[in-house]
Amino acid sequence: MRDQRFDILFEPVRIGPVVAKNRFYQPPHCNGMGSWRAQAHAAMRGVKAEGGWAVINTEHCSIHPTSDVVPEVLHALWDDADIPNLAVMCDAVHAHGALAGVQLAYAAYYNSNRYSREVPMGPVARPVDSYYPVQVRQMDKTDIRNLRRWWGAAQHADRRVRRLARESRPAAARADRGHAGGRRGRLRRQRPYYHRRDVRAAGPAGA
């Protein structure tokens, strides 16, 4: 018999259109599996759901080839070919009544794009924070518009997951929610430490 003070932890919580069965929320964290070891990743997240967690998130999930963090093993959602790797994790989590979330992320200043060979880009031109001597290209207005479009496409990826899951498995899998975030060097946490320009104007550094 648990102390009644902790009852609130086991109450359902509505998160937008979905309901978490309790307040135990597993935030995004890396694990060395990602898209490269999708079955192992799904099994690990599934164990957490089986243990009672209500919401299970992936780790960093790159939304575009210009945000490639290889050789780190993380998730990617660049196109429909990446969806099955996330769908199998959703199936494992849903099997135990938990919600699945994906941490959408765009690395800037952290990624060298060793796999995609794309030129990294960010709010200002500067070297990347990694082991490789690569320079980040300063974004212009077109880059900013493209980034917003890529982010929107990734946020709607749950629809593509659901569609492809129907084609391949009887039980449709989908991501129940998105989690936008990152650590130092990711796009969301660069102001004011890295920003040296008016991003709205996309003008020269220091403008």
Determine the pLDDT at residue 130: 75
Residue 207 domain-assigned (yes or no)? no
Alpha carbon distance 85, 71 (integer Å): 18
The pLDDT value given to residue 159: 60
Q: How far apart are CA 37 and CA 145, in angstroms?
A: 33
pLDDT of res. 94? 92
**Where in the chain does DSSP place strands (E)?**
13-15, 18-20, 25-26, 55-62, 75-76, 99-105, 121-122, 126-127, 135-138, 177-180
Tell me which DSSP letter residue 184 carries. B
| Total Cβ atoms within 10 A of residue 67 | 26
Grouping H, G, I as helix, E, B as strand and the rest as coil, residue 121 is strand
Q: Indicate whether 180 belongs to any domain.
A: yes
Q: How many angstroms separate the CA atoms of 43 and 92, rounded? A: 7
pLDDT score at 156 = 77
88 within domain boundaries:
yes
In-domain check, residue 203: no
Residue 198 lies in a domain: no
Whole-angstrom distance, CA of residue 36 vs CA of residue 74: 8
Residue 133 domain flag: yes
Give the residues of the chain that fall short of pLDDT 70. 157-207
Q: Which domain holds residue 103?
A: 4-189
Q: What pLDDT, in 10s, does the model give residues 19-75?
A: 999 999 999 998 889 888 999 999 999 999 999 999 999 998 999 999 998 888 889
- Cα–Cα distance measured from residue 172 to residue 170, given in angstroms and rounded to the nearest whole number: 6
Q: Please give the pLDDT value at position 187.
A: 53
Separation of alpha carbons 164 and 172, rounded Å: 8
Tokens 């597993």 -> residue: 26
% of the chain surpassing 90 pLDDT: 40
pLDDT at 110: 80
We report the CATH number of the domain holding residue 112 as: 3.20.20.70
CA distance 97 to 127: 44
User: Is residue 106, in this structure, part of any structural domain at all?
Assistant: yes
Smallest CA-to-CA distance from 189 within 198, 177, 180 is with: 180
Number of domains in the chain: 1
134 located within any domain:
yes
